[in-house]
Amino acid sequence: MDVIVEGCIQHFFVVGDHYFFMLNLLDISVNSNRLNLPPGVFQRSNSTLGIFIDSGTPITLIDQRTNIVNAYELVILALQIHYDTLGLVRTAHSSGSEENYELCYNDKPDFQQHPTITYHFQGADYTVDSKFMTIHFGEQGYFCVSILPGNGSSVLGAYHQQNMRIIYDGNNNSIQFYPENCAGDHTIG
């Protein structure tokens, strides 16, 4: 049975083995604003490139110990400027939260102006839908940006992989992806 895919399928090559896939991350945009990170900012001291993709890591981690600049800090600053410009009020998150989210805001009823984030890889751009940029704590009345600081590595986590069909091609060391509504997917178990 042939599968018909509407839209653009992007693909890029990865470095890795059958357990880990390392993607060559070149830059990041918040909405359409590129951060213009310096070349090689995500290159590791052992010459590995970029960011791991891992569906077993819930929240995306951006390394705060990148070369030249602190990439995590720059991404958080761009997101903070976005929300501050819209007049949202920052709040401290609940200490009962399992994660240590840095950037949280009081929620407004019907607020929908969350930004997108685009990871610019060598050969492809991967855009995270705005609805997956935040985690809402409805009963407490706030939301937090769904990015955490990495300590020595960056990981594209499962939350930022939602509604994206990702195909791992281990034979060719590449990944293909395209946006798709995955709400109807079935699980086995």
| Residue-wise pLDDT tens digits, 18-34 | 556 788 899 999 999 99
What are the beta bridge partners of residue 86? none
**Residue 189 counted as domain residue:** no
pLDDT < 50: residue spans in the chain: 1-6
Tell me if 119 sits within 8 A of 156, measured CB to CB.
Answer: yes
- How confident is the model at residue 114, as a pLDDT? 96
Q: Name residue 125's beta-bridge partners.
A: 120
Ramachandran angles phi, psi of 47, nearest 5°: 75, 5
Q: What is the pLDDT of residue 1?
A: 35
pLDDT at 7 (0 to 100): 52
Number of domains in the chain: 1
Residue 77 domain-assigned (yes or no): yes
In a domain, 71, yes or no: yes
Q: What is the pLDDT of residue 63?
A: 92
Give the domain extent around 113.
20-179
pLDDT at residue number 4: 41
